[in-house]
């Protein structure tokens, strides 16, 4: 589905990604782990066409490197950035409505699916999104991206600053995506959730991939965890 090879990215004169290689298969959850500043978010932004980059980014066999963010989104890649982008003055329902793509293709998801996944959003259906808690806004962002019916979702730090109960809900959400055959690239700091639901994990350090393997292999690799993950 998604194939990245020899990806380099830059912010001005700073060289941030150094030849990143990775793949995400269909219906696979791949966790991208690493400390802050290791290049994980930049990798996501490079895929979405939000930063200057060089290298090969292929989506379903098509080269998408250099495409504009809206073009990448139209090809079926959803992106949930770290900063919970919602429309604060619109209601929950209106926010979800804006997530829908126009077109004849029947979406895999309905409003009811969203409200079943996160009942809290149903209660807040007619509430302005700006007055909701951080956790509720995160649920809304995840659902709004899903309304666009992507085949791959890139999610940046979805559990950052959330209460344990909501973290659990986010975990369930990810499992639901997997059951519908949607691929997920999960950028996460919390090892627990990443290890529990990922098929594969990749660890980044200083703009390169320093480890690739299964959650079990990472659990057994004390050196990588100590060197690249533990704060």
User: Among 15-19, 88-92, 134-138, whose mean pLDDT is lowest?
Assistant: 134-138
Question: SS3 breakdown of the chain: % helix, strand, coil, rounded to 5?
Answer: 40, 30, 35
Q: Which residue, among 73, 55, 60, has the nearest Cα to 25 in the 3D structure?
A: 60
* Model confidence pTM above 0.75: yes
Residue 107: which pLDDT band, with cuts at 50, 70 and 90? Answer: confident
Residue 103 confidence (pLDDT) above 80: no
pLDDT above 70 covers what percent of the chain?
A: 98
Residue pLDDT, tens place only, 34-66: 998 899 999 999 999 999 999 999 999 999 999
User: Among 67-71, 101-105, 119-123, whose mean pLDDT is lowest?
Assistant: 101-105
Query: Taking residues 57-78, what's their average pLDDT?
Result: 94
pLDDT above 90 covers what percent of the chain?
A: 72
Residue 160: which pLDDT band, with cuts at 50, 70 and 90? Answer: confident
Residue 230 confidence (pLDDT) above 90: no
Residues 6+ apart with CB under 8 A from 170: 138, 142, 158, 159, 162, 193
Q: What's the distance, Cα to Cα, between the start and end of the chain in Å?
A: 33
User: Among 30-39, 74-83, 85-94, 188-197, whose mean pLDDT is lowest?
Assistant: 188-197
Classified as helix, coil or strand, 84 is coil
pLDDT (0 to 100) of residue 104: 54
Chain-centroid distance, C-alpha 87: 19
- Token pair, residue 102, equals 């126009």
Residue pLDDT, tens place only, 193-215: 899 999 999 999 999 999 999 99
The CATH architecture annotation of domain 2-229 reads: 3-Layer(aba) Sandwich (3.40)
Residue 167: which pLDDT band, with cuts at 50, 70 and 90? Answer: confident
Query: Taking residues 70-74, what's their average pLDDT?
Result: 93
pLDDT (0 to 100) of residue 130: 94
């Amino acid at each position: 589905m998604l194939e990245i090879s020899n990806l380099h990215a830059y912010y001005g004169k700073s060289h941030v990604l150094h030849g990143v290689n990775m793949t995400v298969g269909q219906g696979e959850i791949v966790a991208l782990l690493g400390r802050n500043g290791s290049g994980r978010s930049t990798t996501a932004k490079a895929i979405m066409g939000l930063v200057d980059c060089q290298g090969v980014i292929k989506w379903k066999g098509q080269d998408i490197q250099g495409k504009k963010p809206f073009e990448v989104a139209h090809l079926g890649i959803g992106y949930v950035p770290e900063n919970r982008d919602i429309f604060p003055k619109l209601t929950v329902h209106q926010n979800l409505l804006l997530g829908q793509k126009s077109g004849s293709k029947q979406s895999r998801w309905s409003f009811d699916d969203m409200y079943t996944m996160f009942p809290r959003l149903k209660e807040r259906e007619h509430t302005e999104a700006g007055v909701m808690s951080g956790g509720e806004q995160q649920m809304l962002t995840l659902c709004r991206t899903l309304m666009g019916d992507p085949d791959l979702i890139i999610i940046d730090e979805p559990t950052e600053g959330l209460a344990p109960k909501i973290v659990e809900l986010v975990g369930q959400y990810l499992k639901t995506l997997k059951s519908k055959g949607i691929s997920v690239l999960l950028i996460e700091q919390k090892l627990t959730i990443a290890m529990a639901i990922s098929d594969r994990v990749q660890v980044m350090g200083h703009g390169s991939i320093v480890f690739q393997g299964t959650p079990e292999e990472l659990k057994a690799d004390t050196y990588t965890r100590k060197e690249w993950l533990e704060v």
